[in-house]
Structure 1
Amino acid sequence: MVTRISREELAARIAGHIPEGSIVNLGIGAPTLVADFLPEGLEIILHTENGMLGMGPKPALGDVDPDLINAGKLPVSELTGAAFFHHADSFAMMRGGHLDVCVLGAFQVSESGDLANWSTGAPGAIPAVGGAMDLAIGAKDVYVMTDLLTKQGESKLVAACTYPLTGVGCVTRVYTDHAIFDVTPDGLRVREAFGENTVEQLEELTGLSLTDAAALGEEN
């Protein structure tokens, strides 16, 4: 019984939901996969916080330019018309509301859209929030890309975050390997369940009361 999709399949779903003309930041880790699945022929401009607009997909091994990297220090390509700028200018774009979409990972997302994605308090954890808070609050829409469950089987969707917050009420939509969830004023709504998953099963996994977009006629 199929209940999960791969990260590549999830990245393709996210890429297909980004409107044409968007300026988009892809966070460190799994979100960078989205760049490889953006539909051809659409103008979607990728931004990276270390100072680049017009980032392209991951280059072939023979085409790697060591001076072209994203915020996660992974090699990227540049598209025609790409621009480079100071780190401070990049953060001004983020903080000034100039990004349409950002895609971030998460440790926890609350049912009201709070995001915790920088520390679990564990020894050796990332010591500071970095640019994630600027992205989470500055982007018009915040998509989270994450597994639904931790390795210990605990839900990353929670009633209230117990880890340090990155942003309050900032998440628009959560893309997980089990389902896609929209954040609404009434809590989390199941936009799409993958495989054999049902809303009832997702409620058991998360321990949350969920609404069903399909039952309301709101799914895409």
Structure 2
Amino acid sequence: MGTVTNFFLCSFVVVMAQGEVKLQPDRPFLKVLHNGRAELECCYNATKLLDFTWYIRVQAENITLDPTIVNISELVTARTKKTKDGHCSILTFSSVQLNDTGLYLCWLNNSNINLFTYGTYLHVYKPLEKTLNLSENTKNKILTAEGILLFLCVLLPAATLICQSKKLSELEKKKVKREEENIYQGLNLDDCCETYEQIERALAHGPYQDVCNIKEEEEEIQLEKP
């Protein structure tokens, strides 16, 4: 609740002071590497020189805290400079840390004016460290080994299927041959011989008797009846 109240109060003060002071646009966002150098700047146009005080607003556990004064030290310095359009304050970080992340604002004040600038959000990041520090030669060897393993994973199943197909084909041929051999099992050879002789005799003499010559040949040849 206090944060919301402060925000509306600051907005009201800014509106009241716009007639005397014109704020120049701040840089909205600045991303800096950990232990890097960063410079934040806030400027305004006015006939009178105002006092600069740097504040930081941070967010903790989804709650935005009230602005706090930036501690000036050897690593964090502040200076002012005059430009052709007005005056500026520069906040310099010689080596930013992760806890320096936040929204930085300038508090401008004198006897009649008290207001915050728009502010710049400083984001300090740390690059991801390599879990395994491998050289390029080692990476190439690993990729080659992965390619060989992938090839084997494709080749071995295919070779196994081909071998199984050949075995099934050989078993099928053996089965057909065994069935052909079993056709003649259980047959009586004497019956087969008699049947064969009858077929041969029928083919040699014909299936019918000669009616015209039956009397003449009755004594000599015994014709078979149909």
Q: Structure 1 length as normaliser, TM-score? A: 0.23
Q: Which has the larger radius of gyration?
A: 2
| Structure with a larger share of its residues in helix | 2
